[in-house]
Amino acid sequence: WPRGEGPSRPQDTEAIHQSRGRCRDAVKGVAVSVSKSLILPVTAPIDATCPDCRIFQPMEGWYAVTFLVAFGWIGLWSMVVTVVTNRWVVLLGHPSALGFVGLCVVALGAEIPDAINAVTVASRGYGSMAASSCIGSQICNICLGLGVPWSAAAWAGEVPPTSQ
């Protein structure tokens, strides 16, 4: 095309759009396959050990086992995240940063799924449900995240730490 005038025929414009679409699809396909291969070491053991207890599935009655196994996996991955965070703080050489780094990791881990949930629900037209989910998840995070450890410490006979 001379001097940046662009395609002169409508067929040329359509061919350019089709070519861009094929290129975009190819890049998207590669990205999906790479991301699936990266998370496969995590998802494969979880899929193998958690029975599929959805309604009308053969193992529908196994919901208690699924719950307990999922709870165990969450505990394991929480431990992994804690160990990795501790290692990062050790590598930083600043032990007082543990609280800040841990708080950031926990905040990201708790809020990203909540945000995805709220956006998904709101995009389906349930705005009030999205708002309720945001508020409810924060209440659960505070009540469970602070209440359970403090209750466990009190039951063990220790005084929960508070500011002086």
CB atoms within 10 A of CB 107: 11
Q: What is the residue type of 136?
A: G
- Give CA–CA dist 135/114, Å, rounded: 10
User: To 5 degrees, how large is the angle CA 104–CA 106–CA 107?
Assistant: 65
- Give CA–CA dist 87/106, Å, rounded: 16
User: 101-156: per-residue pLDDT in tens?
Assistant: 777 877 777 778 888 888 888 888 888 888 888 888 778 777 877 778 778 878 88
pLDDT in the model for residue 16: 65
- Give CA–CA dist 93/76, Å, rounded: 26
pLDDT in the model for residue 164: 52
DSSP assignment letter at 30: H
- Give CA–CA dist 137/143, Å, rounded: 10
pLDDT in the model for residue 14: 67
User: 41-96: per-residue pLDDT in tens?
Assistant: 988 998 899 888 888 888 888 889 988 998 888 888 888 888 888 888 888 887 77
- Give CA–CA dist 63/41, Å, rounded: 24
pLDDT in the model for residue 9: 56
User: 89-103: per-residue pLDDT in tens?
Assistant: 888 887 777 777 777
User: Which residue, among 138, 92, 144, 91, has the nearest Cα to 111 in the 3D structure?
Assistant: 138
